[in-house]
Amino acid sequence: MTLPRAVAAQAGRDAWLVVLVTGCLMTLAALLLHVVASFYPDKDPSQWAVIILGPIIGRAWLFLLAVKCIFFTYITAKLYAGILSVRILIYTPKYVTALAIILLAFLASQAFLRGLTRYSELAFLFKIMLVPFLIVPLFVGRSYHLTPILVETPLVSLAKAMPPSVFSYIGFEILWFLYPCLKNKSGYLPVISLGYTTLLYVITTISATIFFGPERLQSLLLPTLSMLSIIQLSVLERIDSLFLWVWVGTVTVTAATQFYIAARAVQGIVPTLHFRKICGFLAGMLLLSVVPVVPLSTLYKWADLLGIFDVAVVIGASLIFTAIYLVRRTGMHNG
Amino acid sequence: MVRKIRIAIILLSLTLSCALTTGCWDSVPVEKRAIVLAMGIDYIAEKQEYEVTLVYPLTQETRARFSDVVSLRGHSVAEALGSWHHTSNAVLSLAAITVIVYGHETASRGVIDTIHDLYGFPDLRSAAQVILAPATAKELLSVVPPETQLISVYLKDVIQRGHTQGDFPPTILANFVMDIVTPGVDPLVGIIGPIGKLSVEEDEKSSASALNQGQGENSQISGGSQANAKVEDVQVLGAGLWSLDRQVGTIDLIRLQHLLLISGGQLYMPLHLVIPGDGLFTGDTDHIGLVIEDTAHKWELSNLDGLHYKLTIGIRLSLNSYQGISEITADDNIEVLEVMLSEAFSQGIQSTLEEISASGSDPLGLGQRFRVKFPRKWQPEQWRDVLKTVTFEVKAEVRITNVGIHIYRLKPR
């Protein structure tokens, strides 16, 4: 929803190129995660983190992951509630929507990973029928907003635009947790899932740039929604309202996967704790924390920081895991 | 596995059921909403106040009339709309607004503050059409159309007809704002006025006299204007030229049609052309009625001795009405007529382009064309000065596909 604005603020009309490059890099990162997960094909990070890093550092890393995921669940619920409150539910207190998202995330986590993935598939299939509306602006916008390519924006600005675009990929460490459940453990899943996401983001960014132009784009808080509120078909208009409601499925799935990872990470720190009890405790904490009012602009700042933090922690850890694993394996072979 | 899928389906049902819950806070029955369909924004210089006129249908079952026209005043549009609650207990909704009308005074003063105020309403419909009134927006919205239609609906129909034919600028609020904030392009806003009031000066006088008659802080006119009871229709008068957020000039309907020809997309656009008398087709200067069916245009620009734009435009048209003296169905005559029309279009479009660029307005996005071609030389802050020195060369190539439905031989030899 915010990606085109966040990237265009630095990259101008070349925003879509930044999104494309970031997407390619994130796909490579996802492949790295896939490789790391393949070291212990029957275990998820809550089990192998301690094996690779040792009991203290491993638990410290899991704690970091749990905190990040809990915070991300919180931000997802608050952001969606905030967006909804400025578009549709103007008089409804934001915490009511945020509470609904947290409750749904809690319920989804109780279905465990297999139920969660089915839920995710259904939400995806339901949402996919709205994707064509993102392509409509390509035909009604002004193509000159996209040209010339790579002339007006310095490379430094393009590089600066990459961190804000990373937030859209946050939470991709779920691939680690999915790996033990996969029937086909080749690298198709990360490439297809990240590739599809990147394609969608690139199309959205191109559409928004063509539709609004880089100057106007930077002043819109939610350009994708604004775009959908303007385009109209002969029998359908204000598609943004429809889109927001269907988007609730994606939001809940995102919050639920992060919530699940957080609960599994806590279980990795203290293996004797019961999963459902951990979920209940974390949900209770989240329900209390979403009540205080936080301005939407502050949430966006936190989200941008969280994106950078997430990528740094996950990719950094993946590289360290790989290095340690390879050193140990080499040592075992030599021994 | 079946159990997991069942859980997933239950969860999805729960998720989607959120769509049906508006909660206790946001549930407002339709009869308690004032769904504004048209809004007029006027600036009253004498009082340094904005006057916002709202047209909305009445939805109560016990209504005595079908619609209301309400005027609110304040030092800003936000203040005026904020005073709505003093006049009505209905919830103001801008979600279905179709037309936003700017009065002449407001447009000349600059509209950026009014736009900021409007976007303060989260449900504002950005696809609303923006138009200009030759005098005041209130006067235009007070017109009672034939068969007691709602003026907002009537205006929407007029605008849509213009869009379909391609002779009315399709300026919606979102594009209007985009053209204001994007350097190298300016908005083009159609002017619609009450029938019989073609002169801006006349309208300004009449509007001033109306204001001098004295109006309350918040005046309410129900079911239309009483002062303009004889005005029952509206018509397209031309378009307003803008520089940033201010109106800097106007063009008449013929010039507007020439301008819109360049943008393409016409579908049976009727156009009256004045062609010089040549002794073959017309005796003296005469009119010819055309229907534009399609256009194709190509821009070239060079920056050797000053900025020069060359436009080649192909126009496919039919003759609708011809008041001449020759048999134009003959092939030779058609070819001669095509050349004559090509020349007339070339001259008409060129003079239109020169007039518009001299005013410092850029509704065609010539600046953006320059930026794309010469990105290193593009300096947005100097574009207005450059625009006034731009030269044009227009070459129109007319092809007549159908020869008229009506051929008048008013001056037979």
A115 → closest Cβ in B4, B127, B181: B4
- The pLDDT, as a whole number, for residue A335 is 63
- The pLDDT, as a whole number, for residue A2 is 83
CB contact under 8 A, B122 and A90: yes
Amino acid making up residue B261: L
Kindly state the average pLDDT of the residues A36-48. 92
- The pLDDT, as a whole number, for residue B325 is 66
Residue pLDDT, tens place only, B143-178: 887 666 788 888 888 888 888 778 889 899 999 999
Kindly state the average pLDDT of the residues B60-71. 77
Model confidence at B222, pLDDT cuts 50, 70, 90, reads very low
What does the block give as tokens for A135? Answer: 């392509």
Residue pLDDT, tens place only, A210-247: 999 999 998 888 898 889 888 888 788 888 888 887 78
Kindly state the average pLDDT of the residues A180-191. 86
- Determine the Cα–Cα distance for residues A105 and A74; give it in Å rounded to an integer: 11
Closest chain A residue by Cα to residue B24: A92
**CA nearest to B97, candidates A237, A220, A133:** A237
Share of chain B above pLDDT 70, in %: 80
Calculate the average pLDDT of chain A: 89
Model confidence at B196, pLDDT cuts 50, 70, 90, reads low
Calculate the average pLDDT of chain B: 82
CB contact under 8 A, B26 and A90: yes
**CA nearest to A72, candidates A284, A314, A258:** A258
Interface check B410 vs A, CB under 8 A: no
Residue pLDDT, tens place only, B314-373: 998 888 777 666 677 777 778 888 898 899 899 999 999 999 999 999 999 999 999 999
Please indicate whether residue B299 or residue A111 has the higher confidence score (pLDDT).
B299
Interface test with A, best of B3, B15, B26 (most A CBs within 10 A): B15
**CA nearest to A97, candidates A114, A83, A117, A107:** A83
Residue pLDDT, tens place only, A145-169: 998 998 888 999 999 998 888 878 8
Please indicate whether residue A196 or residue B59 has the higher confidence score (pLDDT).
A196
- The pLDDT, as a whole number, for residue B284 is 58
- Tell me the shortest Cα–Cα distance from A43 to chain B, in angstroms: 21
Residue B208: is its pLDDT beyond 70? no
Kindly state the average pLDDT of the residues A259-267. 95
Interface check B20 vs A, CB under 8 A: no
Question: Which residues does chain B have within 8 Å of residue A238's beta carbon, measured at their own beta carbons?
Answer: 95, 125
- The pLDDT, as a whole number, for residue B324 is 65
Question: B85: part of which helix (H) or strand (E)?
Answer: helix B84-87
Please indicate whether residue B30 or residue B36 has the higher confidence score (pLDDT).
B36
Strand order of the β-sheet with B246-252 is B220-222, B67-74, B49-57, B38-44, B99-102, B129-132, B188-194, B234-243, B246-252
CB contact under 8 A, B25 and A93: yes
SS3 sequence of chain A: CCHHHHHHHHHHHHHHHHHHHHHHHHHHHHHHHHHHHCCCCCCCHHHHHHHHHCHHHHHHHHHHHHHHHHHHHHHHHHHHHHHHHHHCCCCCCHHHHHHHHHHHHHHHHCCHHHHHHHHHHHHHHHHHCCHHHHCHHHHHCCHHHHCCCCCCCCHHHHHHCHHHHHHHHCCCCHHHHHHHHCCCCCCHHHHHHHHHHHHHHHHHHHHHHHHHHHHHHCCCCCHHHHHHHHCCCCCCCCHHHHHHHHHHHHHHHHHHHHHHHHHHHHHHHCCCCCHHHHHHHHHHHHHHHCCCCCCHHHHHHHHHHHHHHHHHHHHHHHHHHHHHHHHHHHHHHHC
Kindly state the average pLDDT of the residues B124-144. 92
Residue B211: is its pLDDT beyond 50? no
Residue B408: φ, ψ to 5°: -95, 130
Residue pLDDT, tens place only, B257-271: 999 998 876 667 888
Residue A95: is its pLDDT beyond 50? yes
A232 → closest Cβ in B8, B127, B369: B127
Residue pLDDT, tens place only, B87-121: 888 889 998 999 999 999 999 999 999 999 999 98
Residue pLDDT, tens place only, A15-34: 999 999 999 999 999 999 99
A122 → closest Cβ in B8, B369, B371: B8
B15 → closest Cβ in A111, A226, A248: A248
A123 → closest Cβ in B12, B122, B172: B12
- Determine the Cα–Cα distance for residues B133 and B131; give it in Å rounded to an integer: 7
Instruction: Tell me which of A277-281, A302-306, B145-149, B384-388 is least confident.
Output: B145-149
What does the block give as tokens for B7? Answer: 């859980």
- Determine the Cα–Cα distance for residues B44 and B46; give it in Å rounded to an integer: 6
Residue B219: is its pLDDT beyond 60? no
Kindly state the average pLDDT of the residues A116-130. 83
Model confidence at B63, pLDDT cuts 50, 70, 90, reads low
CB contact under 8 A, A87 and B178: no
- The pLDDT, as a whole number, for residue B215 is 38
Share of chain A above pLDDT 90, in %: 47
Residue B218: is its pLDDT beyond 70? no
pTM of the model: 0.86
- The pLDDT, as a whole number, for residue B231 is 65
CB contact under 8 A, B11 and A119: yes
Amino acid making up residue A266: V
